[in-house]
Amino acid sequence: MITVDIGVRLGSFTLDAGFETPSNGVTALFGRSGSGKTTIVKSIAGLVRPDRGRIAVHERVLFDRDAGVNVPTARRNLGYVFQEGRLFPHMSVRRNLLYGRRDRGGHGPGLEETVTLLGLADLLDRLPSSLSGGERQRVAIGRALLAAPRLLLMDEPLASLDTERRAEILPYLAGLRRLRDIPIIYVSHQLDEILSLADWLVLVSDGRVAANGPVEQVASEWRLTPGLDRDETVVLACRVRDHDPEFHLTRLAWTGGDLWVAGIDAEPGREVRLGIRPRDITISLLGPEQTSALNVFPARITGFEPAGRAETDVLLSAGAAILRARVTRRSASALGLAADMQVHALIKASGIDVTVRHSG
Amino acid sequence: MIQGLTPLETEALVLSARVAGWSVLICLPAGIAVAWILARRRFPGMWLLDGIVHLPLVLPPVVVGYVLLVLLGRSGLIGGWLHTTFGVTLAFSWQGAAVAAAVMAFPLMVRAVRLSLETMDRGLEDAARTLGAGELRVWMTVTLPLCLPGILTGTILTFARSLGEFGATITFVSNIPGETRTLPLALYSVTQVPGDPVPAIRLALISVAVALLALVVSELMARRMSARLGAGP
């Protein structure tokens, strides 16, 4: 268990954050830039000293203002991957990698394994200035791993990279999930990174923790904070069932039934996450027969949330998930939609974003 | 005896090199320490330390020499103590000349090192800490190597400034042949004698040669260093 409950004042910005996350898997700190995510990770690392509160990792208290505990950064046994890599410019890649090497103590991979895991074999004798952005970031990740951390902190490790480089690194990050004994705290404001990597989601907004829980739960119960590109997208966890090569479709198994999406490249059994925008769900009182939509699910209306002057979001309970459908207020009125009504939710196959879940 | 130089020239050159060398040796540790304090620490009265360090840069050198004489002369506050406790006399000795040169060049060393301490990426020090490095290791493996260009610049400036020190030296340790008569003082002495201009010209050329050599060496070292640190960010 990782416990954080801290208050930090930095100029006019105040952070007051408390959350607990499981001590395995990937916890994502998600929120807009300036929301306080980085301050939280820096506090965990001891690079920022909170004004109040307590931080504990695996029962080990790293910081406790009241008890006067403040373990120096060097003795916190962490790995920290910075946004901009921060490789030592005067050392070769090899020396960078070995800088923090500690006695293994069963934590994390050794040099050879790390080099293989991150594809660094050809870079070992080079200087950081001769590396591309993506290569630097891989070295930075390797360096953090080799310090045998009990907790790996990653502060937007992909943010300084362009789309191609991000795509290059994401699989390596996913590879880290295999190292089950090292929990990861991953800071990002990119929903796709979080959907593909995280198990647990801590939503940070204006210096506060707005929500905290398993990714699907937080992402579906919560409108992701305004300003993030895909707000109100509902996230579902599914598993690939099979493919229909003729029409190039993929069938996914979901708690609400089978779901068809445009064909994806993932073998059956793979976990995927879906992002479904409210506009891609429509509501029908009729059964599935009279529609072109492939995905029709029985659902129960659980509530309404106004969305602008002309539209309203209908919250639907289907399977184990809450879906969100955006309809005009006029349609809602014409259909006589009301709470607890049984309806059908139609999801357009082409409106679904699929993220293949990276897992070991 | 150096080939082609008169005994007087050789004596002045060797003495100058020794004085400047010792001046650098005094300035290096002290200058790095003070630069670190000024760059990294915040405490009340910092402006005073900053001011005192920079004084030799703005005071007439003769004033600095006089202050040294008052403080470090055999009957001075510190000089008297040094004499009775260690039997060391700085006034009118080459050691005193080294101290005078060091005091005059000190601000140059501090400024050069401080600048590199202030402009280096301190995030790298944090990165080293997260990798388990204690403060001493951070300093030795990250801070110091990354400040080397600044330290090199400071060293060259200190050396050159010490070679040319005149006012404070002549006031504090006088102009004693073989003891405190460095290149500039020797040049000054020969210009005081009317007649043959050649000795003065020769001494001036020797000074130019030494200064140029120092510049070339520093440039070569700086290039090697920046190649090592990489041209990139």
B210: CATH: 1.10.3720.10
- pLDDT above 70 covers a percentage of chain B that reads 97
| A331 in the same domain as A286 | yes
Cα(A127)–Cα(A142) distance, integer angstroms: 15
| A72 in the same domain as A216 | yes
Cα(B86)–Cα(A143) distance, integer angstroms: 52
On whether any CB of chain A is under 8 Å from the CB of B229, the answer is yes
What integer pLDDT is reported at residue A87 of this predicted model? 96
Facing A86 at nearest CB: one of B123, B229, B230: B123
- Give residue-wise pLDDT tens across range B129-184: 999 999 999 999 999 999 998 999 899 999 999 998 999 999 999 999 889 999 99
Residue B66 lies in a domain: yes
> Is A80 in contact with B124 (Cβ distance < 8 A)?
no
What does the block give as tokens for B178? 């073989």
Cα(B102)–Cα(B113) distance, integer angstroms: 15
Cα(B30)–Cα(B48) distance, integer angstroms: 17
Our count of domains for chain B comes to 1
What integer pLDDT is reported at residue A225 of this predicted model? 43
- What's the length of chain B? 233
What integer pLDDT is reported at residue A123 of this predicted model? 94
For residue B232, what is the nearest residue in chain A, using CA coordinates? A129
In chain A, the N- to C-terminal Cα span, in Å, equals 22
Residues paired with residue A9 on neighbouring β-strands, in sequence order: A14
| A193 in the same domain as A152 | yes
Residues in B 12-31 with any Cβ partner in A closer than 8 A:
none
Q: In chain A, what residues touch B229 (CB-CB under 8 Å)?
A: 89-90, 129
What integer pLDDT is reported at residue A226 of this predicted model? 45
Facing B124 at nearest CB: one of A76, A78, A88: A88
Q: Among A61, A22, A25, A27, which residue's Cα sits nearest to residue A41?
A: A27
Torsion of CA A265, A269, A273, A277, to 10 degrees: 70
Interface of A with B (CB under 8 A): 45-47, 72-80, 82, 84, 86, 88-90, 99-100, 102, 127-130, 143-144, 147, 153
Q: Does residue A159 contact residue A147 with C-beta atoms inside 8 Å? A: no
Q: Does residue A174 contact residue A164 with C-beta atoms inside 8 Å? A: no
Residue B1 lies in a domain: no
Per the structure, the complete domain to which residue A334 belongs is given by 236-356
Q: Which residues contact A197 (CB under 8 A, 6 or more apart)?
A: A26, A28, A170, A173, A174, A177, A186, A358
| A278 in the same domain as A207 | no
| A350 in the same domain as A280 | yes
DSSP-derived pairing of the beta strands A26-30 and A234-244: unpaired
Our count of domains for chain A comes to 2
Q: Does residue B185 contact residue B169 with C-beta atoms inside 8 Å? A: yes
What residues of chain A score a pLDDT lower than 70?
102-108, 179-180, 219-232, 288-292, 320, 358-360
Neighbours of B44 (CB within 10 A): 6
Q: In chain A, what residues touch B131 (CB-CB under 8 Å)?
A: 79, 99-100, 143-144, 147
Q: In chain B, what residues touch A46 (CB-CB under 8 Å)?
A: 129
Per the structure, the complete domain to which residue B56 belongs is given by 7-229
Q: For residue A323, what is the domain's CATH number?
A: 2.40.50.100
Q: In chain A, what residues touch B228 (CB-CB under 8 Å)?
A: 90, 127
How many Cα atoms sit within 13 Å of A166 on the Cβ side?
A: 15
> Is B131 in contact with A127 (Cβ distance < 8 A)?
no
Q: In chain B, what residues touch A99 (CB-CB under 8 Å)?
A: 128, 131, 133, 141
Residues in B 144-183 with any Cβ partner in A closer than 8 A:
145-146
For residue A44, what is the nearest residue in chain B, using CA coordinates? B130
| A307 in the same domain as A217 | no
What does the block give as tokens for A121? 């074999």
DSSP-derived pairing of the beta strands A2-10 and A151-155: unpaired
Q: Among B118, B125, B103, which residue's Cα sits nearest to residue B150?
A: B118
| A186 in the same domain as A169 | yes
Q: CA A167: distance to chain centroid? A: 15
For residue B225, what is the nearest residue in chain A, using CA coordinates? A90
Q: For residue A43, what is the domain's CATH number?
A: 3.40.50.300
Q: In chain B, what residues touch A78 (CB-CB under 8 Å)?
A: 130
Residue B98 lies in a domain: yes
Residue B202 lies in a domain: yes
DSSP-derived pairing of the beta strands A184-188 and A26-30: parallel
| A223 in the same domain as A120 | yes
What integer pLDDT is reported at residue B231 of this predicted model? 44
For residue B228, what is the nearest residue in chain A, using CA coordinates? A90
Which residue in B119, B131, B141, B226 has the most chain A C-beta atoms within 10 A of its own C-beta, making it the best mutation to test that interface? B131
Domain end residue (candidates: A195, A228, A261): A228
Facing A74 at nearest CB: one of B129, B142, B146: B129
Domain end residue (candidates: A228, A251, A268): A228
DSSP-derived pairing of the beta strands A200-205 and A2-10: unpaired
- Give residue-wise pLDDT tens across range B88-116: 888 889 999 999 999 999 999 999 999 99
Neighbours of A239 (CB within 10 A): 14
How far is the CA of B17 from the CAs of A219, B21, B126, in angstroms? 73, 6, 40
How many Cα atoms sit within 13 Å of A52 on the Cβ side?
A: 7
Residue B48 lies in a domain: yes
How many Cα atoms sit within 13 Å of A18 on the Cβ side?
A: 5
Q: How far is A58 from chain B (nearest CA, A)?
A: 18
On average, the pLDDT of chain B sits at 90
Domain end residue (candidates: A228, A246, A263): A228
> Is B130 in contact with A143 (Cβ distance < 8 A)?
no
